[in-house]
Chain A
Amino acid sequence: MKIAIILISLGILGFYLMDIFFGIGFGVQHFSNGVKDLYLSNSKDILKVSNVVTSIVVNFRGFDTLGEVTVLFLASTALGGILYKKRHHVGERSVLFPASRIVMSGAKLLFPSIVLLGAYVFIHGHLSPGGGFQGGTIIATGFLLMLLTYRNYSVSHNRLVYFESLAGILFISIGLVGYFSKGSFLENVLPVGNMNDLFSGGVIGIIYIAVGFKVAAELTGIIYTVLHEKD
């Protein structure tokens, strides 16, 4: 039953992805003299996004970003699959030198501000430099600091998997909503608002928040798995 549901949903997803894929029209020349001017004018006039890099990465080249996120997901899954057997009976991590009291207090003080910085970077991805990948990595370094400092600090693996899966589902469903309503994958469906506002750029902000959660969960999972690997 479970396998049948998985196969049917994979089939539906594969059909629509192939439909989009063949609709792209490879080899057909769309633009005569490059696309850079079109990107610049479109992200300024149509999308109203001040960070042009973000508008290219998430909106014009959103399918590539989906591929990058999938590569990261596959890497973390493969690492978890390789190291899975040895993770059954781990207690405390083996540390060479226990952290001193100064390091412990400093880490406790720094951890919320690191997570806040990461959240700021991916929420403001369409206004300032940075985005989902950068913000997620900064949050993962915050978790890395806590994991290295406290011997018995642990991250719930189930919660990480939930965050990761929900963020991936959100990304793909936004893309499919764009496909069904506007006819192209990851097409903008929300109002764009004014330039330099927090609520501008349509779906870019939501997609970058999803990507940020996904990258943070994946990298934290990778670090947690590697740290618990004993010889």
Chain B
Amino acid sequence: MIYVILTLVLLLLMVASAIYAIWQKDLLYAVIASGILSLFLSIVFVILQAPDVALTEAAIGVALTTIIFIIAIRNTVRYEDEHDKKKKVKTTTK
């Protein structure tokens, strides 16, 4: 029973982090949120008794994919368009 509740909570957290990753205009935050989604997914795999898949998900989804996306963001742009960047700068300077 407790495993069912834990799985449901983890699934809700996964959905929440996925929605956050879509909603967020700052791409760095979006990539971190998708990495957190992979972390919850690997815990769900452990609960579902698939430790092989959980190891793969933890190593590839959390570490490697996130880092490769961050390198891509560093070499391109961090915000989706210039408008968001200006708005962010304006709100931080106020």
Binding site for B on A (CB under 8 A): 53-54, 96, 121, 129-131, 133-134, 137-138, 140-141, 144, 148, 219, 222-223, 226-227, 229-231
Contact = CB atoms under 8 A, between A and B. Distances in A.
Interface string B53-90: 01110011001100110011011100000000000000
A223 B75 contact: no
For A134, A141, A148, A231, the residue with the greatest tally of chain B CB atoms inside 10 Å of its CB is A134
Given A130-B52, A140-B64, A226-B72, 17 more contacts: A53-B52, A96-B74, A129-B52, A129-B54, A130-B51, A131-B52, A134-B52, A134-B56, A134-B59, A137-B59, A137-B64, A138-B59, A141-B63, A144-B67, A223-B64, A227-B71, A231-B75
A140 B63 CA distance: 10
Size class of the B contact interface (CB-based, 8 Å): 10 to 19
Interface of B is mostly: helix
For the complex of A and B, list the 8 residue pairs with the smallest distance between their C-beta atoms, beginning with the closest.
A129-B51, A137-B59, A134-B55, A141-B63, A129-B52, A130-B55, A53-B52, A138-B59
Interface of B: 51-52, 54-56, 59-60, 63-64, 67-68, 71-72, 74-76
Contacts, number: 47
B54 to A, nearest CB: 8
Contacts of A54: 52
A131 B52 CA distance: 8
B72 to A, nearest CB: 8
A49 to B, nearest CB: 13
Nearest to B72: A226
